[in-house]
Chain A
Amino acid sequence: MEENILEVKNLSVSFFSYIGEVRAVRDVSFSLKPGETLAIVGESGCGKTVTVKALMRLFGNSAASIKEGSQILFHGQDIAQMKKTDLYNVRGSGISMIFQDPMTSLNPTMNVGEQIMEGIRTHNSKISRSDARARAIKLLDLVGIPSPEERIASYPHQLSGGMRQRVMIAIAIACEPDIIIADEPTTALDVTIQAQVLELLRELKDKLNTAFILVTHDLGIVFDFSDRIQVMYAGRIVERGTKYEIYKNPVHPYTWALLNSIPRRGLQSKDELYSIKGTPPDLMLPLECCPFAPRCDYAMPICKERAPQEIALSETHGAACWLLHSMAPKVQRPVHTGGSDDE
């Protein structure tokens, strides 16, 4: 068994505001092997982005903090306890990130070449300016930007959204990090551009052999892209497994609901696309019960009293749901009519 490059243990992240503590991530543990792709899926506001930002302690000027007892072991070093200067070394060269919105994620007053070179020169103080420039041109070429020698002097406003996301990807891969985090990399793009950017990411994944963490709420793109899937809800991981386990044999009602809400081929126009009723819970609440219980079609009395522990179904597959308890009634996963299941 290969060594894990990343091991997250009991990660909790809270935002402190005037009205109280928002517990965005609650006791999350997971690991990542070299070259592996992990997808984190879930609705908006269930802690996916906060989880991955915590991996780089990248909270900007928000009032977020990683709570005591959390461990983020990257090559055995704990990022949660790291000194600022060591953290700067990990960011960019150890772990890098592709952000959601390419329209706002690039500095508007710096040309794209400078922005790519900045990371290269930060982590390699010996490299000359012209070498860094040559590398930046190579990177732009690699991410599929035509005539990179000219484009290197462009400013972000001169590029389209898809181009900017390619530049973002070039920035992320510039220092050949071990882990690339892609935080909803295609959400802000047009559907056709989405496909191109995903294709690019897949190519790069094969070429660079880096580990990927893909954060998305779009289960449709996850299957092609990832090796393992983690489903998050209300700051917790509710189900995890290989992509086959999650797609073929999901056990958590929330995963069922997510899978049922993917648009399918053959869905008739009169059929309504399934959607989960209600909204995720307020993360300021302590949530002693199962957080999904109020929206769950199979909720039992116990679900509203105590939170379920994660139960392992196989070496890779696990879920936190009372339905898996030996005393629970056996429930079949609902398959919705009106469309054929692609997977």
Chain B
Amino acid sequence: MLIYILKRILYMAMVLFIVVSITFFMIHNVPGDPLTSSVMNLPDQVKANYYARYGLDKPLFEQYLRFWKLLFTEGSLGESIKYPGRLVEEFILKYSGISARLGLISVAIGFSVGIVFGIVAAIFKNKWPDYAVMLTAIAGITIPVFVLAAVFQYFFTVKLQWFPTTGWGTVRHMVLPIACMCLSPIATYARYMRSSVLDVLGQDYILTAESKGVSSFNVVRRHVFRNSVLPAITLLGPSVASVFTGSFVIESMFAIPGLGTYFIRAINERDFTMVLGMNLFYCLLYIASLLLVDILYVVIDPRIRLAASKDGRRKKAHAE
């Protein structure tokens, strides 16, 4: 198990390296640089000084090496080109907290509510709870998040005045953005869970459990849930990522000072170091959530646990 995780972390490092490298060369090959994006008309000498300061006059490969050297020797992602004196890693740490809080709460709500909805829909298949859940699910998948955000803002802030329109700080500020962000995960998880629960309900071991005299509620709790939750767990990794991309829209619509807004701005301003740093950060989050999902798999399904530990045992025997 430990060996398995170590191996996975090694793979993660490799993936990160590749992604960051590709991003580096791509962002530098996009036409324009931090100066052309602003309309300042500077003398050539000033421009040359500016490039020299950030090493942008050096060959591309040298800049690439410089980036890794800085990361490994000083543990730093460098200084923002657009906002001098602002370190990329400090910037990320400062604003990612807000995005993370939004994202994690909405994934948590989406996952748990979606799973409960899915189970209810499957148990009451072709009855009204099923239709209600499926209607919500279709709405959640088809309505774009920006439409939802606008509608919510109109009803809950302009008409009813329950919540503030935009801004950040109190719990009341969080309600609407989270409501917008978790509807789509609820829909996705509910649909996956419904089909997987239906599948499990048709399995022979459910009959076995019922033949023991276990009540319907306990059959669902002890036998159905664990066997049907795996497909939903698989989605957890990608949905963490999609929540982050989704938050770009939500953050700008609700004027939340999260990382998403700054990411878009950094790309538009060709802030090379900032883009690279944030990309590294998102990539790390994504891969880490995939690893987390794999570990969850092992916890939930004993058959997967055995495969991993057998591997470890064979290695140990080999070493002896």
List residues of B (109-141) whose CB comes within 8 Å of A's CBs: 125
Residues of A within 8 A of B214 (CB): 88, 92, 118-119, 122
Q: Known contacts A109-B302, A158-B306; is A91 also within 8 Å of B212 by CB?
A: yes
B212 touches A107 (CB 8 A): no
- In whole Å, how far is B33's beta carbon from the nearest beta carbon of chain A? 56
* From B125, B202, B223, contact of A110 by CB (8 A): B223
B300 touches A109 (CB 8 A): yes
CA distance A91 to B201 in the complex (A): 18
List residues of A (118-155) whose CB comes within 8 Å of B's CBs: 118-119, 122-123, 155
List residues of A (67-116) whose CB comes within 8 Å of B's CBs: 84-85, 88-93, 96-97, 99, 101, 104-111, 115
The 0/1 profile, CB within 8 Å of A marked 1, for residues 196-225 of chain B is 001001111111111111111010001100
Q: Known contacts A101-B204, A107-B227; is A96 also within 8 Å of B211 by CB?
A: yes
Q: Known contacts A107-B223, A108-B302, A109-B302; is A119 also within 8 Å of B212 by CB?
A: yes
B303 at the interface (CB under 8 A from A): yes
B208 touches A123 (CB 8 A): no
CA distance A109 to B222 in the complex (A): 10
Residues of B within 8 A of A104 (CB): 203-205
A58 at the interface (CB under 8 A from B): yes
List residues of B (157-212) whose CB comes within 8 Å of A's CBs: 198, 201-212
- Interface size class of chain B, counting residues whose CB lies under 8 Å from the partner chain: 20 to 34
* From B207, B212, B222, contact of A60 by CB (8 A): B207
A119 touches B213 (CB 8 A): yes
CA distance A58 to B211 in the complex (A): 7
B301 at the interface (CB under 8 A from A): yes
A118 touches B302 (CB 8 A): no
Residues of B within 8 A of A314 (CB): none
Residues of B within 8 A of A118 (CB): 209, 212, 214, 222
A111 touches B302 (CB 8 A): yes
List residues of B (229-267) whose CB comes within 8 Å of A's CBs: none
A171 at the interface (CB under 8 A from B): yes
Residues of A within 8 A of B209 (CB): 107, 118
B101 at the interface (CB under 8 A from A): no
Q: Known contacts A110-B222, A123-B213; is A99 also within 8 Å of B201 by CB?
A: no
A157 at the interface (CB under 8 A from B): yes
- Interface size class of chain A, counting residues whose CB lies under 8 Å from the partner chain: 35 or more
CA distance A174 to B226 in the complex (A): 24
A91 touches B301 (CB 8 A): no
B210 touches A58 (CB 8 A): yes
B302 touches A105 (CB 8 A): no
List residues of B (276-320) whose CB comes within 8 Å of A's CBs: 300-303, 306
Residues of A within 8 A of B306 (CB): 155, 157-158
CA distance A240 to B143 in the complex (A): 64
CA distance A32 to B247 in the complex (A): 67
A192 at the interface (CB under 8 A from B): no
Residues of B within 8 A of A175 (CB): 213
A56 at the interface (CB under 8 A from B): yes
Residues of A within 8 A of B213 (CB): 88-93, 119, 122-123, 175
Residues of B within 8 A of A111 (CB): 302
Judged by DSSP, the binding face of B is helix
* From B198, B211, B223, contact of A56 by CB (8 A): B211
CA distance A115 to B300 in the complex (A): 16
- In whole Å, how far is A51's beta carbon from the nearest beta carbon of chain B? 15
B211 touches A91 (CB 8 A): yes
Q: Known contacts A88-B214, A122-B213, A157-B306; is A109 also within 8 Å of B227 by CB?
A: yes
B205 touches A157 (CB 8 A): no
CA distance A85 to B214 in the complex (A): 10
A323 at the interface (CB under 8 A from B): no
- In whole Å, how far is B206's beta carbon from the nearest beta carbon of chain A? 6
A61 at the interface (CB under 8 A from B): yes
**A91, A93, A109, A118 pick with most chain B CB within 10 angstroms:** A109
Q: Known contacts A108-B227, A157-B302; is A60 also within 8 Å of B211 by CB?
A: no
A232 at the interface (CB under 8 A from B): no
B210 touches A108 (CB 8 A): no
List residues of B (61-100) whose CB comes within 8 Å of A's CBs: none
Residue of A nearest to B213 (CB): A92
A155 touches B303 (CB 8 A): yes
A321 at the interface (CB under 8 A from B): no
B208 touches A171 (CB 8 A): yes
A168 at the interface (CB under 8 A from B): yes
* From A61, A89, A107, A122, contact of B208 by CB (8 A): A107
- In whole Å, how far is B242's beta carbon from the nearest beta carbon of chain A? 28
CA distance A105 to B204 in the complex (A): 5
B207 touches A58 (CB 8 A): yes
A155 touches B211 (CB 8 A): no
* From A91, A101, A155, contact of B302 by CB (8 A): A155
CA distance A99 to B40 in the complex (A): 80
CA distance A175 to B212 in the complex (A): 9
Residues of A within 8 A of B205 (CB): 104-108
Residues of A within 8 A of B222 (CB): 110, 118
A171 touches B212 (CB 8 A): yes
Residue of B nearest to A155 (CB): B302
Residue of A nearest to B214 (CB): A122
Residue of B nearest to A95 (CB): B211
User: Can you list 23 contacts pairing A with B, beta carbon distance less than 8 Å?
Assistant: A60-B206, A61-B201, A91-B210, A92-B211, A92-B212, A92-B213, A93-B213, A101-B204, A106-B208, A108-B205, A108-B227, A109-B226, A109-B300, A110-B226, A111-B302, A115-B208, A122-B212, A122-B213, A122-B218, A155-B306, A157-B306, A158-B306, A172-B211
Besides A107-B209, A107-B227, A118-B222, 19 new A-B residue pairs in contact (Cβ under 8 A), listed by A number: A60-B202, A60-B206, A60-B210, A84-B216, A96-B211, A99-B204, A104-B203, A105-B207, A106-B208, A107-B205, A111-B302, A118-B212, A118-B214, A122-B214, A157-B303, A158-B306, A168-B208, A171-B212, A175-B213
10 shortest interchain CB distances as A-B pairs: A92-B213, A119-B212, A91-B213, A104-B204, A92-B212, A107-B205, A155-B302, A97-B211, A105-B204, A109-B226
